[in-house]
Amino acid sequence: MIKLTKQVALLLLIALLLLSAAACRQPTGETTTGDQTTETPGSDTDITDDLPDVKYDGYEFNVIIQSNSGRHRDIVYNEELVGNQISELVYKRNMEVEDRFGIVIKGTTDTHQNVITTVRNLVNSDDYEYDLVFSATMYMYNLATQDGLLEIDELVHINLTKPWWGQDILEGGFTINGKTYLVNGDISPTSLLRSALLIFNKSLCDQNHIEYPYQTVYDGKWTLDELIRITKDFTRDTDGDEKYDLFGLTSWYLDSPYSFYYGAGGQMVYKDGDDMPYLNPSREKDILIYEKIFELILVNNSNFEKQVSGDAYKVFTDGNALFVEASLHQIERGEYQDMDDDWGVLPLPKLSESDEYRSFVNSSISMVGVPANAPDPERTGVITEALASTSYRLITPKLVDVLAKNRYTQDAESQDMLDIIFRNRVYDLAYIDQTLWNSLSFVRDLLNQESISVASYFASVESKVKDRIEEIANFYRD
The pLDDT of 49-74, averaged and rounded, is: 95
Residue 197 pLDDT: 95
* Structure confidence by residue, pLDDT tens digits, 273-322: 999 999 988 889 999 999 999 999 999 999 999 987 788 999 999 999 99
Angle of helix 112-124 relative to helix 137-144, nearest 10 degrees, comes to: 10
Report the C-alpha gap between 291 and 228 in whole angstroms: 11
Hey, CA dihedral for 209, 212, 216, 218, is it positive or negative?
A: negative
DSSP E strands, 80-239: 103-110, 132-136, 175-176, 179-180, 196-201
Under 8 Å CB-to-CB from 456, ≥6 apart: which residues?
none
| Pair type for strands 179-180 and 277-279 | unpaired
From the number of C-beta atoms within 10 Å of its C-beta (0-12, 13-18, 19+), residue 210 rates as middle
Report the C-alpha gap between 154 and 144 in whole angstroms: 14
Q: What is the dihedral of CA 332, 336, 338, 342, to 10 degrees?
A: -120
370 or 339, which is more confident: 370
* Structure confidence by residue, pLDDT tens digits, 194-238: 999 999 999 999 999 999 999 999 999 999 999 999 999 999 999
Residue 233 pLDDT: 95
Rg (CA), the chain: 24
Report the C-alpha gap between 18 and 31 in whole angstroms: 24
Contact 335, 313 (CB under 8 A): yes
CA distances from 238 to 124, 257, 315, 317 (A): 62, 28, 14, 17
The pLDDT of 424-431, averaged and rounded, is: 88
Question: Residue 327: in which H helix or E strand, if any?
Answer: strand 321-327
Domains of the chain, CATH where assigned: 59-192+363-394 (3.40.190.10), 196-360+426-477 (3.40.190.10)
Q: Concatenated DSSP letters for 200-241? A: EEHHHHHHTT---THHHHHTT--BHHHHHHHHTTT-B-SSSS
Q: How far is CA 264 from the centre of its chain?
A: 16
* Structure confidence by residue, pLDDT tens digits, 180-196: 999 999 999 999 889 99
Q: Length of the chain, please? A: 478
Count how many Cα atoms sit within 13 Å of the Cα of residue 9 in the half-sphere of its side chain: 5
* Structure confidence by residue, pLDDT tens digits, 94-146: 999 999 999 999 999 999 999 999 999 999 999 999 999 999 999 999 999 99
Hey, CA dihedral for 258, 261, 265, 266, is it positive or negative?
A: negative
Count CB atoms within 10 A of the CB of residue 262: 26
Count CB atoms within 10 A of the CB of residue 342: 15
For the chain, give percent helix, strand, coil, nearest 5.
45, 20, 35
Contact 438, 373 (CB under 8 A): no
